[in-house]
A and B are shown apart, each in its own frame.
Chain A
Amino acid sequence: EVQLLESGGGLVQPGGSLRLSCAASGFTFSSYAMSWVRQAPGKGLEWVSDISAGGGSTYYADSVKGRFTVSRDNSKNTLYLQMNSLRAEDTAVYYCAKEITIFGVTTPLNDYWGQGTLVTVSS
Chain B
Amino acid sequence: QSVLTQPPSVSGAPGQRVTISCTGSSSNIGAGYDVHWYQQLPGTAPKLLIYGNSNRPSGVPDRFSGSKSGTSASLAITGLQAEDEADYYCQSYDSSLSDSVFGGGTQLTVL
Taking the complex as formed, is A27 at the interface, i.e. its CB lies under 8 A from any CB of chain B?
A: no
For A114, the chain B residues whose CB sits under 8 A away are 45
Q: Do A113 and B100 have beta carbons less than 8 Å apart?
A: no
* Total chain A interface residues with beta-carbon distance under 8 A: 25
Q: Do B45 and A109 have beta carbons less than 8 Å apart?
A: no
A35 CB → nearest B CB, Å: 7
Q: A105-B51, A111-B57 are in contact. Are A35 and B46 (CB under 8 A)?
A: no
Alpha-carbon gap, A105 to B51, bound state (A): 8
Q: Do B34 and A106 have beta carbons less than 8 Å apart?
A: yes
Taking the complex as formed, is B62 at the interface, i.e. its CB lies under 8 A from any CB of chain A?
A: no
For B74, the chain A residues whose CB sits under 8 A away are none
Q: Do A109 and B48 have beta carbons less than 8 Å apart?
A: yes
Q: A37, A104, A105, A110: which contacts B48 (Cβ < 8 A)?
A: A110
Q: Do A95 and B46 have beta carbons less than 8 Å apart?
A: yes
Taking the complex as formed, is B83 at the interface, i.e. its CB lies under 8 A from any CB of chain A?
A: no
B93 nearest CB neighbor, chain A only: A107
Main secondary structure of the interface of B (DSSP, over half): strand
Q: Which of B87, B92, B93, B100 has the most CB of A within 10 A?
A: B100
Count CB-based A-B contacts (< 8 Å): 73
Q: Which of A48-100 contact B (CB under 8 A)?
A: 50, 59, 61-62, 95
Please tell me the size bucket of the interface on B. Answer: 20 to 34
Q: Do A105 and B52 have beta carbons less than 8 Å apart?
A: yes
Q: Do A45 and B46 have beta carbons less than 8 Å apart?
A: yes
For B102, the chain A residues whose CB sits under 8 A away are 37, 44-47
For B92, the chain A residues whose CB sits under 8 A away are 107
Q: Do A111 and B100 have beta carbons less than 8 Å apart?
A: no
Q: Which of A61, A110, A116 has the most CB of B within 10 A?
A: A110
- B residues contacting A by CB (< 8 A) are 2, 32-36, 38, 40, 44-48, 51-52, 55, 57, 87, 89, 91-93, 97-105
- A residues contacting B by CB (< 8 A) are 35, 37, 44-47, 50, 59, 61-62, 95, 102, 104-116
